[in-house]
Amino acid sequence: MSNKKLLLLPGDGIGPEVMAQVKRVIDWMGKKRGIKFDVTEDLVGGAAYDKHGVPLTDATMQKAMDSDAVILGAVGGTKWDNLPFEVKPERGLLRLRKDMDLFANLRPAMVFDALVESSTLKPEVVQGLDIMIVRELTGGVYFGQPKGIETLPDGQRRGFDNQTYTTSEIVRIGRVAFELARKRGKKLCSVEKANVMMSGVLWREEMTKLGPQYPDVELSHMFADNCSMQLVRNPKQFDVIVTDNLFGDILSDTASMLTGSLGMLPSASLGAPDANGKMKAMYEPVHGSAPDIAGKDIANPMATILSFSMCLRYSFDMAAEADLIEQAAKNVLAGGLRTADIMSPGKAKVSTGVMGEALVRELDKIG
């Protein structure tokens, strides 16, 4: 079999620092497990804008299309805040998602036992937490047309975005969520605002119609505002949550904080398998580029390393290797090492680089 083609897009801010740690893990897989990757690296976001005047070139987009998987660091930063909307760093990321048709965004929120104390919530509320947010990623208000700012006859300006969902968009994300729930705790909560939004009414109807095809999964519905409250009140009531692009963006940030730090959360963005069973995919940490701490070697590399582990699991069917990385992460944390974002009294504060190195050493031990 030919080598697996990986495209690394470190991006902006802390992106390159955390990606450097992923490269160590990729090297380890090659040396110790004989798993060879063809690794290419390229620019996205502000970094691409600085060099090419666009946040993603057509050539890079093509490389992403041709790869087996993309690993992305983060995009954006204050430096590019005043750029025109069309060339903002975030547009690069959104184009990757849209052009690769990565409609299913899996955002797990797991509380590692060693990190129970890092959460701002009481230990009994979060201990053992393991939920999965399935966010629709290529539709809704992010991409709905028309979208713009216009000037009205009275001289006022009017900004508008459009929330739209078709049945097929809802059904395909619904199926992904039901299938995942089936492999996990068999509970699926579908989240929208059917009380005020027509797209929400349709969403609820379509999810309800899918229900009987998955009789082993218990389906419930919840309004998004209530869900944000329930996530903090009693997050363990959830197993899988399926929701639209915007609500998924917001609720996954909330869920991330249950775990103590955004710095721990990976994600997978998946397309539909083609006729040959090949699926486009991109893996990225849920956190952003954190320009305030960029270049200081203090960012937490775990979210990006765990994103690589999701890549092994979902794109390459290498569950054993994925488990190995997750176990190594657990062990390193249990051993007391902490980056600044998850630091607590009595633990050893380490840099991005030292954390990455410790993880690889742990892989040496257990792999």
Of these partners, Mg ion, ligand IPM, none, which one is at the site of residue 90 (CB under 5 to 8 Å by kind)? Answer: ligand IPM
Q: Which of residues 272-331 bind ligand IPM (CB under 6 A)?
A: 288
Strands 104-110, 187-192: pairing is unpaired
CB of 134 closer than 8 Å to CB of 180: yes
Question: Which of 9, 19, 48, 93 is in the footprint of ligand IPM by CB under 6 A?
Answer: 93
Dihedral, 279, 280, 283, 288 alpha carbons, nearest 10: -150
The count of chain residues that interact with ligand IPM, using the rule CB under 6 A, is 5
Total number of residues that touch Mg ion (CB under 5 A): 1
Reading the block at residue 358, the tokens are: 């410790």
Q: Which stretch binds Mg ion (CB under 5 A): 16-24, 88-96, 246-254, 310-318?
A: 246-254
Distances (CA, A) of 253 to 85, 106, 176, 217: 23, 13, 21, 26
CA distances from 109 to 162, 252, 261, 265 (A): 29, 8, 10, 7
Residues 260, 111 contacting (CB under 8 angstroms): yes
Q: Is 253 a catalytic residue?
A: yes
**Which residue, judged by CB position, is nearest to ligand IPM in the bound state?**
90
Catalytic residue among 58, 113, 225, 317: 225
Per partner kind, with CB cut-offs from 5 to 8 A, the member of Mg ion, ligand IPM, none near residue 93 is: ligand IPM
Helix axes 302-314, 319-334, angle to 10 degrees: 160
- The pattern of x and - marking residues 205 through 244 that bind Mg ion according to CB under 5 A reads ----------------------------------------
Look at residues 139, 163, 226 and name the one whose alpha carbon lies nearest to residue 189.
226
Facing residues of 108 across strands? 132
Q: Respond yes or no: is residue 193 known to be catalytic.
A: yes
Q: Across-strand partners of 178?
A: none
Determine contact, residues 111/129, Cβ cutoff 8 Å. yes
Active-site annotation holder among 50, 101, 130, 253: 253
21/105 with CB nearer Mg ion:
105
Options 136, 206, 249, 362; binder of Mg ion; rule CB under 5 A: 249
Query: Applying CB under 6 A, which of residues 136, 249, 321, 362 lies at the interface with ligand IPM?
Result: 249
Task: Let me know if 225 is a catalytic residue.
Answer: yes
Nearest C-alpha neighbor of 25 from the set 362, 364, 360: 360
- Among 52, 57, 79, 90, interactor with ligand IPM by CB under 6 A: 90
Site for ligand IPM in 34-73 (CB under 6 A): none
Cα 283 to Cα 270: distance, rounded to the nearest angstrom: 9
Cα Dmax for the chain: 70
**By beta-carbon distance, which residue lies closest to Mg ion?**
249
Binding at 161: pick from Mg ion, ligand IPM, none (beta carbon under 5-8 Å per type): none
d(CA 97, CA 267): 13
Selecting among 4, 88, 193, 280, the annotated active-site residue is 193
Of 42, 68, 249, 341, the catalytic one is 249
State the residues that interact with Mg ion by CB under 5 A: 249
Point out the residues that are catalytic.
142, 193, 225, 249, 253
Which residues form the interface with ligand IPM (CB under 6 A)? 76, 90, 93, 249, 288
